[in-house]
Amino acid sequence: MQILRDYMSSPVVSIAPEASIFEAAKLMTEKKVGCLLVEENDGYSGMVTRSDIISRVLAESKDPATVTVDSVCTRPMLTMDYLLTVNETGDKLLRKNIKRLAVTERGKVVGVFSIKDLVKT
Protein backbone atom coordinates (compact mmCIF):
# COMPACT_ATOMS: atom_id res chain seq x y z
CA MET A 1 0.00 0.00 0.00
CA GLN A 2 1.38 3.40 -1.00
CA ILE A 3 0.90 5.96 1.77
CA LEU A 4 1.61 9.68 1.84
CA ARG A 5 4.46 9.38 4.32
CA ASP A 6 6.51 7.52 1.70
CA TYR A 7 6.04 10.11 -1.06
CA MET A 8 5.70 13.49 0.65
CA SER A 9 8.41 16.16 0.68
CA SER A 10 9.86 16.74 4.11
CA PRO A 11 10.90 18.75 6.03
CA VAL A 12 8.60 21.60 5.10
CA VAL A 13 10.01 24.98 4.15
CA SER A 14 8.28 27.86 5.88
CA ILE A 15 8.18 31.64 5.91
CA ALA A 16 6.83 34.33 8.22
CA PRO A 17 3.50 35.94 7.28
CA GLU A 18 5.03 39.42 7.24
CA ALA A 19 7.74 38.46 4.71
CA SER A 20 7.49 39.99 1.27
CA ILE A 21 6.57 38.03 -1.83
CA PHE A 22 10.02 38.89 -3.16
CA GLU A 23 11.55 37.11 -0.13
CA ALA A 24 9.19 34.17 -0.63
CA ALA A 25 10.13 33.79 -4.31
CA LYS A 26 13.82 33.98 -3.43
CA LEU A 27 13.43 31.29 -0.73
CA MET A 28 11.45 29.03 -3.09
CA THR A 29 14.23 29.33 -5.65
CA GLU A 30 16.99 28.65 -3.11
CA LYS A 31 15.21 25.62 -1.64
CA LYS A 32 13.90 24.42 -5.03
CA VAL A 33 10.30 24.16 -3.81
CA GLY A 34 6.98 25.22 -5.30
CA CYS A 35 5.37 26.31 -2.05
CA LEU A 36 6.09 27.62 1.42
CA LEU A 37 4.02 27.08 4.53
CA VAL A 38 3.18 30.25 6.44
CA GLU A 39 4.48 29.79 9.97
CA GLU A 40 2.44 31.43 12.69
CA ASN A 41 1.77 30.76 16.39
CA ASP A 42 3.77 27.51 16.62
CA GLY A 43 2.03 26.10 13.57
CA TYR A 44 1.15 26.80 9.96
CA SER A 45 -1.71 29.09 9.01
CA GLY A 46 -1.55 28.86 5.23
CA MET A 47 0.43 28.07 2.12
CA VAL A 48 1.88 30.35 -0.55
CA THR A 49 2.59 28.79 -3.94
CA ARG A 50 4.14 29.83 -7.23
CA SER A 51 0.62 30.06 -8.63
CA ASP A 52 -0.40 32.43 -5.81
CA ILE A 53 2.55 34.68 -6.63
CA ILE A 54 1.79 34.69 -10.34
CA SER A 55 -1.98 35.17 -10.15
CA ARG A 56 -2.32 37.36 -7.06
CA VAL A 57 0.78 39.54 -7.36
CA LEU A 58 2.43 39.57 -10.79
CA ALA A 59 -0.73 39.32 -12.89
CA GLU A 60 -2.22 42.20 -10.90
CA SER A 61 0.93 44.34 -11.32
CA LYS A 62 1.55 44.47 -7.57
CA ASP A 63 5.03 45.10 -6.20
CA PRO A 64 6.51 41.82 -4.86
CA ALA A 65 8.79 43.81 -2.57
CA THR A 66 5.86 45.37 -0.71
CA VAL A 67 3.14 42.70 -0.86
CA THR A 68 3.26 40.35 2.13
CA VAL A 69 2.93 36.59 2.13
CA ASP A 70 0.02 36.92 4.55
CA SER A 71 -2.01 38.91 2.02
CA VAL A 72 -1.81 36.35 -0.81
CA CYS A 73 -1.41 32.94 0.82
CA THR A 74 -4.07 30.27 0.54
CA ARG A 75 -6.14 29.72 3.67
CA PRO A 76 -7.23 27.35 4.93
CA MET A 77 -4.76 24.90 3.50
CA LEU A 78 -5.95 21.43 2.69
CA THR A 79 -4.40 18.75 4.91
CA MET A 80 -4.45 14.97 4.91
CA ASP A 81 -3.11 12.40 7.36
CA TYR A 82 0.23 10.79 6.47
CA LEU A 83 -1.27 7.28 6.60
CA LEU A 84 -3.82 7.90 3.85
CA THR A 85 -3.13 6.25 0.52
CA VAL A 86 -1.62 8.05 -2.41
CA ASN A 87 -4.65 7.11 -4.53
CA GLU A 88 -7.10 8.69 -2.06
CA THR A 89 -5.00 11.81 -1.97
CA GLY A 90 -4.59 12.02 -5.73
CA ASP A 91 -8.36 11.77 -6.15
CA LYS A 92 -8.86 14.60 -3.67
CA LEU A 93 -6.28 16.81 -5.39
CA LEU A 94 -8.02 16.29 -8.71
CA ARG A 95 -11.53 16.86 -7.28
CA LYS A 96 -10.46 20.09 -5.56
CA ASN A 97 -8.33 21.16 -8.55
CA ILE A 98 -5.27 21.87 -6.41
CA LYS A 99 -1.62 20.93 -6.80
CA ARG A 100 -0.41 20.65 -3.20
CA LEU A 101 -1.56 19.86 0.31
CA ALA A 102 -0.01 19.66 3.75
CA VAL A 103 0.52 16.22 5.26
CA THR A 104 -0.16 15.80 8.97
CA GLU A 105 0.81 13.30 11.64
CA ARG A 106 -1.26 13.47 14.82
CA GLY A 107 -2.48 16.91 13.78
CA LYS A 108 0.99 18.37 13.16
CA VAL A 109 2.19 19.24 9.65
CA VAL A 110 5.13 17.02 8.72
CA GLY A 111 5.37 17.39 4.94
CA VAL A 112 3.87 18.48 1.65
CA PHE A 113 2.40 16.24 -1.05
CA SER A 114 2.06 17.52 -4.60
CA ILE A 115 0.87 16.41 -8.00
CA LYS A 116 4.55 15.85 -8.87
CA ASP A 117 4.79 13.38 -5.96
CA LEU A 118 1.74 11.59 -7.35
CA VAL A 119 3.53 11.08 -10.65
CA LYS A 120 6.45 9.41 -8.82
CA THR A 121 4.24 6.59 -7.49
Mean pLDDT of the chain: 93
Q: What's the predicted TM-score (pTM) here?
A: 0.90
CATH code for the domain in which residue 83 is found = 3.10.580.10
Strand locations in 41-85 (E):
43-49, 79-81
Three-state DSSP state, 21: helix
Contact by Cβ (8 Å): 114, 99: yes
CA-CA distance, 3 to 36, in Å (whole number)? Answer: 22
Give the range of the structural domain holding residue 15, as residue numbers without chain letter.
4-119
The H or E element spanning position 14 is strand 14-15
Phi-psi region of 103 (alpha: psi -120 to 50; beta: other; left: phi over 0): beta
Q: Is pLDDT at 76 greater than 70 in this prediction?
A: yes
pLDDT on residue 68:
98
Report how many domains make up the chain: 1
Edge-to-edge order in the sheet of strand 79-81: 79-81, 100-105, 108-114
Q: Is pLDDT at 5 greater than 80 in this prediction?
A: yes
